[in-house]
Amino acid sequence: MRTSTSKRPTAREAGNAAVPAGDPTESLSPFLTFPRHAWARLRDGMPMALTEAEIPRLRTLGDRLDLSGVEEVYLPLSRLLAMHVEAAQGLFRARRRFLGGDEDRVPFVIGIGGSVAVGKSTTARVLQALLARWPRTPRVALVTTDGFLRPNAELERRGLMRRKGFPESYDVQALLRFLSDVKAGVHPVRAPVYSHLTYDVIPGDSVTVDAPDILILEGVNVLHAGAPPRDGRTVPFVSDFLDFSVYLDAPEEALRRWYLDRFLALRDTAFRDPRSYFHRYARLSDADALATATGLWEDINLVNLRENILPTRGRADLILRKGEDHRVEEIALRRL
């Protein structure tokens, strides 16, 4: 077990690097921002639960997570989440006594959002592994919103294949019903499954979520919310069901480069499978593959980032800011 004896940073010492120095809105920011070295101290002796041999299994293609990243970024975050879960459970018990009900506790839902290629899947897997190894070994389920994309055939009929991943390409009602049932304590609940090989929802397949202590929901648009209706009707959004949310952030040019690098890597691996939706790209030259990937990035993913994903960053409870090398350099935590 490793124990940190470093002095913890105060809120004043952490500063607020999220806002440019001298910006008149600096004092109004809802976030406290920590450089990585200051955030790492907040681990406060929490034991390392993962081994170096486990990291490659948790790391997704193109990401560069290493053991130091787990120690300095994700262990402090898992400690913070432990506090939030404990507080939420205490509040739930108090409300149950107040209302005179006898409902079981409901899952604590963590949302993880951000651009394509930013590393959401890695973050979700690492947090699932860490949270499941808390002293009381809670059950931690992981579901991606990809399963709630409309099937390709339906997207084709609606003319939305070039908008796949945009808010309108999801079966939002199905996703909201799933989350509503989870937060109502219904179990088991099933979520559809998506195949990145066939680039489509798998007909008839599902993953069962059976009353976990924690549910991690990962997807590009988990924080997206449309305009509220003018007549005051209650219209739920996915984010209404989240107890804590994390947004992975990175410079636009870095995201572009990571997406292109991943496309080239997939061209030489997964795309070679004849079952792959992208099999037609497997024999492209480097130049043609880069041109194709650049077109997909600029025409689809960059548009989605600018129109739908990036505008939700400020709604997160915590922002992980990555540098050019995929390394988390800064953490912004929403004030209470």
Q: Is 196 within 8 Å of 204 (Cβ atoms)?
A: no
pLDDT band at residue 17 under the 50/70/90 scheme:
very low
Confidence check: pLDDT of 22 > 60? no
**Is residue 207 within 8 Å of 162, Cβ to Cβ?**
no
Is it the case that residue 189 has pLDDT exceeding 60? yes
Whether the bond between 203 and the residue before it is cis, its omega within 30 degrees of 0, is no
pLDDT of residue 136: 73
DSSP structure class, residue 149: B
- Which one is predicted more confidently, 60 or 135? 60
Query: Angle, nearest 10°, between helix axes 75-99 and 120-131?
Result: 70
Q: Say which DSSP state 307 is in.
A: I
Per-domain residue ranges of the chain: 106-334
Residue 127 has pLDDT above 80, yes or no: yes
Sign of CA dihedral 146, 148, 149, 151: positive
User: Which H, E and C letters describe 34-87, residue by residue?
Assistant: EEHHHHHHHHCCCCCCCCHHHHHHHCCCCCCCCHHHHHHHHHHHHHHHHHHHHH
Answer whether CATH 3.30.70.20 is correct for domain 106-334. Answer: no
Q: What is the pLDDT of residues 162-180, one digit of tens each?
A: 999 999 999 999 999 999 9
Residue 67 is predicted with a pLDDT of 93
What does each C-alpha distance from 197 to 50, 124, 259, 269 come to in angstroms? Answer: 29, 20, 17, 11
Q: Which two tokens stand for residue 60?
A: 């997704």
Distance CA 206, CA 172 (A): 17
Checking if the pLDDT of 15 tops 80, the result is no
Q: What pLDDT is stored for residue 229 in this prediction?
A: 78
Position 20 scores a pLDDT of 45
Averaged pLDDT score across all residues of the chain: 90
